[in-house]
Amino acid sequence: MVPIFDAHCDALMTASEQGRVIWQQSQEGQWDFPRMGMGGVACQVLALCSTREKGISPLNQVLIGIADLYRALKEYPEAFLIRDGDDWGRLRGGNLGVVLALEGCDALEGRPEPLEVLYALGVRCLSLTWNLRNELADGVGDETSGGGLTRLGRQVVREAARLGMVLDVSHLSTRGFWDAMGMDDGVWVATHSNCRALMDHPRNLTDDQIKAIASRGGVVGINFYPPFLTVAPQATIDDVVRHILHVVELVGPEHVGLGSDFDGIDAAPVGLEDATRMPQLVQALGEAGLSLEELRLILWENWLRVFQRVV
Ligand SMILES: [Zn+2]
C-alpha cells in the first residue's frame, strides 16, 4: 500500500483541550499516533496554533505544544520528529514521522528573532497568519481591508527560507497570497486549502492561485472540512475526491496532496471520520480512475518532494 503524507493536523493543540494524549488511542477527536499508524499515514505535519484570547501568551502556547510533542515522542518510540535531511530515510518500516509547523506567527509577538529558536526546537513549516491580521500579514478574515504582507512579514519569509522552512499560504488574505507569490524567497505551498471553483468559500483557492502555487513547484493539500468541500449539509469522501481531481485537471498530479485538518475541524465527511479511515479515501481515488503512479504522487511523493527540498 502507498504510504500517506498528511500536511495538516491540529491534534497537538486540541488533544490537551479534550483531556487526551496523542500517544494513546482515543475515542475522542480525530487523530493520535495509534490512529495515524492504523490509517497508513507515515508522515504527519502537526500544527502549533496560538490565539491571543487564551490568557496564556501565544509564544507560551506554542512552547507548551512543543513540550507536549516531546513528551509524546518519548511515550511512543515509533514516532520521531523530522529535523534534517537524514530523517527522511527513517520513514520506513512502520516508523511515524512528524513535521512541526507553526500556524500563524502570533507567537513571534512582532519580532523576527524567536523564529530561529523555534527552528532549533524543530519547526520546519510556517504560515504567517491564521484568519485574523497580525504584525506580519492580513488573514482571510480581514479580507475587506485589502492588506497583504507587512515589512516584518517579508523579513520573516526571508528568514524562514534561509533557515529551511516550507512556507504555507493557507489562511492568508488574497493580497497577502499575491504578495507572497511575488517574492523570490521560499518554497510555497497551501497545506490545507481547497478549490474555490468547486466551493465558493474565502478559505479556498481560486484556479489562478492554484496555478501560481504549481508554477513555483508547490503543492495544494486538500482539506476535509465539510464547509470547504460542498454546500450540501453533509460532505462525503467523493467531495474530497472531486477537489483533488480538480487540481489534477488544472495543474497535473504533481501539485496536489492531502491536508486533512483533523482535530482542527468539528465535522468530517461521511466515511472519513478520523485518521483510521484514510484507506477509504485511497480506495475512492483509485475508483475515480487515478493510476497507481498518480496515487503515489498525491498521497506521498508530492509532499515528500517539497519538504525534502527545504528540510
Ligand atoms: Zn488552519
The 10s digit of each residue's pLDDT in 76-126 is 999 999 999 999 999 988 899 999 999 999 999 999 999 999 999 999 999
Ligand 1 geometric centre to CA of 93 (Å): 30
DSSP string, 73-124: HHH-TTEEE--SGGGGGG--TT-EEEEEEEESSGGGTT-STHHHHHHHTTEE
The count of structural domains within the chain is 1
Tell me if residue 189 falls in helix, strand or coil: strand
CA of 7 to the centre of ligand 1 (A): 11
Ligand 1: centre distance to CA 241 (Å)? 20
Query: What separation in Å is there between the alpha carbon of 88 and the centre of ligand 1?
Result: 25
Interval between CA 165 and ligand 1 midpoint (Å): 17
Report the mean per-residue pLDDT for the chain. 97
How far apart (Å, rounded) are the C-alpha atoms in residues 106 and 129?
7
Gap from CA of 256 to ligand 1 centroid (Å): 17
- Tell me how far the alpha carbon of residue 130 lies from the centroid of ligand 1, in angstroms: 7
Range of the domain at 176: 4-310
How far is the centre of ligand 1, averaged over its atoms, from the C-alpha of 303 (Å)? Answer: 17
* Ligand 1 centroid distance, CA of 301 (Å): 22
Digit-coded pLDDT (tens) for 227-286: 999 999 999 999 999 999 999 999 999 999 999 999 999 999 999 999 999 999 999 999
CA distance 274 to 19: 18
| Beta partners for residue 49, in sequence order | 103
Instruction: Pull the grid cell for residue 307.
Output: 519538504
pLDDT, position 119: 98
CA of 98 to the centre of ligand 1 (A): 17
Query: Which residue, chain included where needed, has cell 479556498?
Result: 204
Residue 47 has pLDDT above 90, yes or no: yes
| CATH code (residue 126) | 3.20.20.140
